[in-house]
Amino acid sequence: MSKRTFLVTGGCRSGKSKHALTLGNRLPGKKIYIATAEALDAEMKTRIALHKKERAPSWTTIEEPQDPASVIRNVAPEDSIILLDCLSIWIANLLLADRKREDILEQTQILAQISMQSPASIIIVTNEVGAGIVPDNKLAREYRDIIGEANQIIASHFDEVAHCVSGIPVTIKPNEKEKLQEKINDEPSHEFSPEKKQGLYDAIYKRRDVRQFNSKPVAPSVLGKILNAAHHAGSVGFMQPWNFMIIDDIKVKAKVKEIFEECNETAAKKFSEDREKLYKSLKLEGIMEAPINLCITCNRDRLGPNVLGRDTIPEMDLMSAACAVQNLWLAARAEGVGVGWVSILSQEMLKTVLEIPDHIVPIAYLCIGYTDNFLKKPMLQTVGWEDRLSIENLVYYNKWEGEPGGIAIEFPSGDF
């Protein structure tokens, strides 16, 4: 991890400490918290206790009200994160110890220099106290002025400065060194930001097969974004074999529902008595309730008989169309729109109802609309039909059922 330095400023209860802690938690490495406050009265004891509760157990707290620079100098190993909270309380401590302005600013300069020399990443929290009314006494005015000058010293040295307003951090000094490094690198990073990564994983882990729909219509603009996401799926030979058939005619939906009911009755009889009873209790479609039905098809003749990459595995065009289905499903989940895949349908009967030509293959019949409830777990898992298999048992190395050698994958923890 490359070293980084942050100054986080803001007014009282602006969210600056919370933002600084979030920054520290995002950075990898040993976490060290330098507390400058002293529990001199009941109120301060309460404040300190609340701050401690906000920190994860991974943070080591060191109390140093007078000389935080010595802590940074002595306990700053490489790949560690040091959060100093806060500069303004430290300055108040020095003033109460009868330290003069020149001495305090000199100590601030030393703190800035040691922070920059340290191999650790440093985060300093401070107060912005100069935006209010002029204090009515000399000590308070002196305190205000010294903090303003001290903030300028730290800000001039540090890579990044953020100002918190009503819990929202606003970057007022971006990391220019980081930008320069990106320009210097021959191969810039293509990694997503943490927020974008989380959004992607949320869409994957929270995607559900939806069967219950409410009456809220799907706006054409939202449907257009979802379909365009599907259209940007990868495809063999870039043949883009899909078509998207939008069905909103209630008479057409009713005919498709009849196909489902016939196929569903036949499918139910293939299970044992108990399994059949559970099967019949499940809602496996939302054809009539969903405002939009969508049939995604695959044109196996698109681009002619010879398609780059399809000669050895002819089914690659069908797999490409399935990728479009997955793109659509994830985009819909990100938009808060539910999707249900109706697989209990006769393809030939469906082709007749939708007047699909012989050479076109229906890949997926989807129900699309808003829902009042995205289940925490897939419906079939919730009712006990099946449980999710353990990913650890599905990964082999170098051969079928091969054991790990040089690489052993670590999987994320959590109930996904």
User: How far is Cα 77 from Cα 3, in angstroms, rounded to an integer?
Assistant: 11
Look at residue 113 and tell me if it is in a domain.
Answer: yes
Report if residue 406 sits inside a domain. Answer: no
Q: Poorest-confidence range of 10-24, 37-51, 294-308, 386-400?
A: 37-51
**What is the tally of structural domains in the chain?**
2
Of all residues in the chain, what percent carry a pLDDT higher than 70?
96
User: 242 and 381, same structural domain?
Assistant: yes
Residues 203 and 167 in one domain: no
- What does the pLDDT average to over 222-236? 97
Return the CATH number at 167: 3.40.50.300
Would residue 252 count as lying in a domain?
A: yes
Q: Answer whether residue 413 is part of any domain.
A: no
Measured distance CA(23)–CA(45) in Å, rounded: 25
User: Do 168 and 205 share a structural domain?
Assistant: no
Whether residue 69 lies inside any domain: the answer is: yes
180's CB contacts (< 8 A; 6+ apart) are none
**Within-domain flag for 328:** yes
115 and 208 in a common domain: no
208 in the same domain as 175: no
Q: Is residue 190 part of a domain?
A: no
List, for residues 16-60, the tens digit of each pLDDT value.
Answer: 999 999 898 888 888 999 999 887 777 777 777 777 777 878 899
User: Domain ends where: 134, 156, 184?
Assistant: 184
- How do residues 328-381 score in pLDDT, each as one tens digit? 999 999 999 999 999 999 999 999 999 999 999 999 999 999 999 999 999 999
Domain end residue (candidates: 163, 184, 205)? 184
Q: Looking at the structure, tell me whether residues 357 and 269 fall in a common domain.
A: yes
Q: Domain boundary residue among 132, 158, 184? A: 184
pLDDT tens digits, 113-129: 999 999 999 999 999 98
Mean pLDDT score across all residues of the chain:
91
In this predicted structure, what is the pLDDT of residue 37? 87
Structure token digits, residue 282: 């499940």
- The SS3 assignment for 275 reads helix
Q: Which CATH number characterizes residue 308's domain?
A: 3.40.109.10
Q: Is the pLDDT score of 151 beyond 60?
A: yes
Angstrom distance (rounded) from CA 288 to CA 412: 39
Look up the domain containing 143 and give its range. 5-184
147 and 215 assigned to the same domain: no
Question: Residue 236: pLDDT above 80?
Answer: yes
Same domain (yes/no): 159, 239: no
CA nearest neighbour of 215 among 283, 284, 292: 292
Is 407 inside any structural domain? no
Same domain, 137 and 52: yes
User: 57-76 burial string, b = 16+ CB within 10 Å, else e?
Assistant: eebeeeebbebbbebbeebb
Kindly state whether residues 151 and 260 are assigned to the same domain: no
| Claim to verify: residue 332 and residue 359 sit in the same structural domain | yes
Residue 304 Rama label (left phi>0; alpha psi -120 to 50; beta): left
Same domain, residue pair 13 and 114:
yes
Backbone dihedral angles phi then psi of residue 276, each to the nearest 5 degrees:
-65, -40
Residue 308 near residue 273 (C-beta atoms within 8 A): no
